[in-house]
Amino acid sequence: MKVLLLAGLVVWMYWDHILRLVYYWMEPDWSHGFLIPPFGLYVVYMKRAELFKVLGEGSLWGAVLMSASTLVYAFAIIGQFGYPQPLSIITMVAGVVLLMCGWRVLWLTLFPICFLALGMPPPERMYREITHPLQQFAATISTVVLNMFPGAEVERSGVNISYWMSGGDQGMFAVAGACSGMRSLMAFVALGLMTAYFTPRPMWQRLAMAVSVVPVALFCNVLRVIITGAFQMYGHKDLAEGTPHAILGMFTFALGFTIYMGILWVLDHVYVDRPTEEKGASE
């Protein structure tokens, strides 16, 4: 009853932000957000046996953390700071767990609690500061590659790419914010952290799995821009927009997932854990 009461109060307190998060998750760039809470609950469910073993008395430090979260939330509202408001949900949930269950339970559930941050969009200004360099990167690499295509001369100006074909056709296309790669990057980061957390591997492999998602996502996004640009350059603009463009995005995401699985296969064959008896015999 205490847990249900506290959970109800937290939901009531952050109800507006919960609705706002759902609204954000309906956008393509943040559609992975719908998977974040169920994944956290699944992690807690998988650890249920271990959690019941360490379940102890709560700590009053949880009340301190909840009070601090409330103060941050109120200060952010008064000062009209947007981002700290949803972030305080994470510390509030941590405070509830600490108050009701104690430090050991909080430690075991710390990863799924912190994982909630991946579903909270940053401020618009910060988001633009992240996406713009990604747009510049995709435009730069795509320009270099498209210049290698037969009969094409390509130049870049910011995120705009101009082309001149030997047959006389010319035009320009832009790497839009939606094509910056932020969408695939966030989805791959969430996927990589999930896989690294659940896979029983050495720590260095888990770190490699978490880090490798970034170059894989960037590669797939650049490939998508190159293919889209090639369609426009060679007179197939109908394939560079609408449903074909969306299908291309799904294809490149599937390609990225395949590459990521290939990285896991390589890691499986790089590190072979020999039984202890075999190691002793070889010595």
- Average predicted confidence (pLDDT) for the chain: 81
CB 100 within 8 A of CB 60: no
Beta strands in 208-283 (DSSP E): none
When pLDDT is cut at 50, 70 and 90, the band that residue 181 belongs to is: low
CB 118 within 8 A of CB 185: no
Q: Which two tokens stand for residue 241?
A: 């927009």
Query: What letter does residue 177 receive in the DSSP assignment?
Result: G
CB 180 within 8 A of CB 134: yes
Q: Which two tokens stand for residue 245?
A: 């463009």
Query: Which residues pair with residue 172 across a beta bridge?
Result: 162
- Does position 77 have pLDDT exceeding 80, yes or no? yes
Average pLDDT in the 73-91 region?
Answer: 84
Average pLDDT in the 91-103 region?
Answer: 90
Rg (CA), the chain: 24
Q: Which residue has the tokens 């949880």?
A: 62
Which residue in 24, 23, 40, 41 sits closest to 183, CA to CA?
A: 24
CB 21 within 8 A of CB 120: yes
Verdict on whether the full-model pTM lies above 0.75? no
Residues 122-147: tens digit of each pLDDT:
777 777 777 778 888 888 888 889 88
Query: Which residues pair with residue 163 across a beta bridge?
Result: 154, 171
Which residues, other chains included, contact 109 with Cβ-Cβ below 8 Å and sequence gap of 6+?
A: 43, 44, 47, 51, 97
Going 31 to 141 to 164 to 149, the CA torsion angle's sign is: negative
